[in-house]
Amino acid sequence: AQRVTQPEKLLSVFKGAPVELKCNYSYSGSPELFWYVQYSRQRLQLLLRHISRESIKGFTADLNKGETSFHLKKPFAQEEDSAMYYCALNTGGTSYGKLTFGQGTILTVHP
């Protein structure tokens, strides 16, 4: 069965420090992974997807199939990055809404 694990419920860093939010997955098929973010009082929104190999708001994430990981990184955290971050695995093939979510990590960036 598929599973997404985010080992850290809470993560605190100071502004300007590097940040890494960990995500590991378990899936027998070819994984398609995403990071979603939820800012305070806002809805869940897509941050980035591994297929696009993009950098959004300074965040990057590399899929490591050997370690079954998809960690989210940013070299210099900003206060506005404080939010809940979810790692998600697509298990629906071409239907990209069939997602399995991790438990989420609350990132707090202190001034």
Partner 1 sequence: GAVVSQHPSRVICKSGTSVKIECRSLDFQATTMFWYRQFPKQSLMLMATSNEGSKATYEQGVEKDKFLINHASLTLSTLTVTSAHPEDSSFYICSADGGLETQYFGPGTRLLVL
Does 102 participate in binding partner 1 (rule CB under 8 A)? yes
Q: Which of 99, 100, 101 is nearest to 84 (CA)?
A: 101
Q: Which of 42, 34, 27 is nearest to 91 (CA)?
A: 27
Q: How many angstroms separate the CA atoms of 96 and 43, rounded?
A: 18
Return the residues of window 53-82 that contact partner 1 according to CB under 8 A: none
Window 38-57: contact mask with partner 1 (x via CB under 8 A): -----xxxx--x-xx-----
Looking at beta carbons only, is 19 or 99 nearer to partner 1?
99
Contacts to partner 1 by CB under 8 A: 32, 43-46, 49, 51-52, 86, 92, 95-104
